[in-house]
């Protein structure tokens, strides 16, 4: 009997929060999930354990998305050890925020956010894209933010990075569409994660038509839709998961 090849999905920043939920959801969709993380190995291992408990499979893949050489070394090593396989689904989720009004913002606050959120997307996508193009198959989903669409005071760095991600996704979608590759964006609003735990959810929810913060699983479901055959004719689009909030 011919051995069925695994389908691989890479999720950057997959150890916690939205990234962890996406890893679990993609595993349920049948993918062997490559769980990228920078430093929190314990959280990554917990995500992998959840996947395995649900009958799925995954592999930990540590590297800092903002460091070009780390990205190239980790992904080249994986490609060398899997010569007949390729990463079919890429979810660029890794992100950080360093909020401050621009007048008070330190240069490293700008650089860290742009390097991780925007440059990290570039380094990882550039490495993975070649095989997708050769195979004429692939799904890329970039996790942006409502800030990248409307801007948020105190987040000029974050909004710039996420806005750049959205623009890059629309351009890339046009470049690779003829090769059978789709590129889309999921832009969450306020979602219950450790990045929003310091916010006043009760007050902010009054401005959200659905009157609550979103759940990380709801973002993961949007991702699973965009990588499915049901979304085969959708590319270059931004799917907002924001409870109806438009700032």
Show me where the domains of the chain are located. Answer: 8-241
pLDDT at position 6: 82
Nearest to 89 by CA among 19, 35, 138, 20: 138
pLDDT of residue 246: 77
Tokens of 48: 């992998």
- Which 8-state DSSP code applies to residue 19? H
CATH number given to 8-241: 3.40.50.720
Burial code (b: 16+ CB inside 10 Å, e: under 16) for 110-119 equals bebbbbbbbb
Residue 56 CA to residue 158 CA, distance in Å, equals 34
Phi, psi (deg, nearest 5) at residue 61: -140, 90
**What pTM was estimated for this model as a whole?**
0.93
What pLDDT shows up at residue 247?
A: 61
Residue 106 contacts residue 150 (beta carbons within 8 Å): no
At residue 1, the pLDDT reads 35
Q: Within the chain, which residues score under 50 in pLDDT?
A: 1-4
Options 8, 37, 158, 246, the catalytic residue? 158
- The pair of structure tokens assigned to 23 is 């890893």
Whole-angstrom Cα distance, residue 235 to residue 182?
Answer: 5
**Annotated catalytic residue 158:** yes
Q: 161 is written with which tokens? A: 């990075």
Helix axes 68-81, 120-135, angle to 10 degrees: 30
């Amino acid at each position: 009997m011919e051995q069925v090849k695994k389908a691989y999905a890479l999720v950057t920043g997959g150890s916690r929060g939205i990234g962890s939920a996406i890893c679990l959801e993609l595993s349920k969709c049948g993918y062997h999930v490559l769980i990228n993380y920078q430093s929190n190995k314990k959280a990554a291992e917990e995500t992998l354990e959840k996947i395995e408990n649900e009958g799925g499979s995954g592999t930990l893949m540590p590297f800092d998305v903002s460091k070009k050489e780390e990205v190239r070394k980790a992904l080249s090593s994986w490609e060398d050890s899997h010569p007949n396989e390729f990463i079919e689904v890429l979810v660029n989720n890794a992100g950080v925020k360093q909020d401050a009004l621009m007048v008070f913002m330190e240069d490293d606050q700008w650089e860290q956010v742009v390097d991780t959120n925007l440059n990290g997307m570039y380094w990882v996508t550039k490495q993975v894209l070649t095989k997708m193009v050769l195979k004429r198959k692939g799904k890329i989903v970039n996790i942006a933010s409502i800030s990248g669409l409307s801007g948020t005071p105190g987040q000029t760095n974050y909004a710039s990075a996420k806005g750049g991600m959205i623009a890059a996704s629309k351009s890339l979608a046009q470049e690779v569409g003829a090769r059978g590759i789709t590129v889309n964006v999921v832009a969450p609003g306020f979602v219950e994660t450790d990045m929003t735990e310091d916010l006043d959810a009760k007050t902010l929810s009054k401005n959200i038509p659905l009157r609550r913060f979103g759940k990380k699983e709801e973002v993961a479901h949007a991702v699973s839709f965009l990588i499915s055959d049901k979304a085969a004719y959708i590319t270059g689009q931004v799917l907002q998961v924001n409870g109806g909030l438009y700032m």
